[in-house]
Amino acid sequence: MKNRFLVTGGAGYVGSHMVLALLDAGHEVTVFDSLRTGHRAAVPDGARFIEGDLADLPLLDKVLADGPWDCVFHFAALSLVGESMQKPMMYMSANGGLGFGLIDACVRHGVKKFVFSSTAALFGSAGDKLIDEDTPVHPGSAYGESKRVVELALYWADRIHGLRSACLRYFNAAGCDPQGRAGEDHRPETHLMPLVIDAALGRRDALTLFGEDYPTPDGSCVRDYIHVTDLAQAHLAVLPLLDEKSVTFNVGTGKGNSNLEVIQAVERVSGKPVPWKAGPRRAGDPPMLVASPARIMKETGWKPRFTDLNETVRTALEWRVAHPHGYAD
């Protein structure tokens, strides 16, 4: 069945992979993106594109009035943890405030389903335990808090207005479309995997790892690297549940890899050494964040396909080799 979907932030990293998944499934897709951090070239052929900011409420009303929309997927957000600790009000306004405006507009225009790109930054350190949906929420950064307030707004939008929502708290998005149709291109780039790859390719100076004295096996931070294509499929998998209820899921592989293990994987896959040096800890970074995806797997049947770190690295490396200047190519 062909549905109509609106994707905010669909010109960004995860959003563009979501658009590909929707198009591959035969749906009609409209991307709404300000291009503040996204790229016009990331929007695939077949998707309608509207350049606009969520702060432009008249334009947002016009877009939503052109319904009906079977679901709104909300990816548009600022996402730099370090920056959020320097400019917390900017993050609360851009992610929280504009998220409230989008939710309110969806309610006014009769949208019934809403899928929200949330984050594992809601959680503090859980030690060496997997983080499930019952783990207490304790954001360690303004970025995490700005996502949390949107989750709370969605709770009330469901309770009062019947807007069913899925909040997907995913961990470290990584990799690129296996067919090479979309990739990762942040300006500036802050994600570990592409930074390690660029260091291996000689496109940047020695990589700095933030902290080598964490209480982890090798002293570096441990994260759950979930392939971006698997993430997109998880967003599709939750849609049938929204016919009956709102849901919240943690989305990951259930397996953690340290910063040093990512470096070693890039060296294995690329066949090149990675120059790096140790730096101080970064504010807001827990030592370990690894998801328990048991609940979403049980309730939807979804499961990650890319569970081998080497394969995730391979897709990221192939895209960066083919696009040395990102989407500017």
Q: Give the separation between CA 51 and CA 74, rounded to whole angstroms.
A: 15
Report which of 77, 214, 195, 189 is spatially closest to residue 144, judged by C-alpha positions.
Answer: 77
Q: Which long-range contacts (CB under 8 A, 24 or more apart) does 151-158 make?
A: 151/116, 151/118, 151/122, 151/248, 153/99, 153/100, 153/103, 154/103, 154/114, 154/116, 154/246, 155/246, 157/103, 157/106, 157/107, 157/114, 158/246
- Calculate the alpha carbon distances from 63 to 30, 122, 158 in Å: 9, 31, 22
Q: For residues 265 and 224, give the distance between their C-alpha atoms in angstroms, rounded to a whole number.
A: 14
Whether the CB-CB separation of 154 and 114 falls below 8 Å is answered with: yes
Identify each DSSP E strand in 38-194 by its residue range.
48-51, 71-74, 113-119, 164-170, 172-174
Catalytic residues: 143
Query: Which ranges in 166-293 belong to alpha helices (H)?
Result: 192-200, 228-237, 259-270
Spell out the residues 6+ positions from residue 271 whose beta carbon is closer than 8 angstroms to its own.
none
- Closest Cα to residue 74, out of 133, 4, 120, 9? 9
Count of C-beta atoms within a 10 Å radius of residue 216: 18
**Structure tokens, 22:** 């929707």
- Both structure tokens of 185: 């291109």
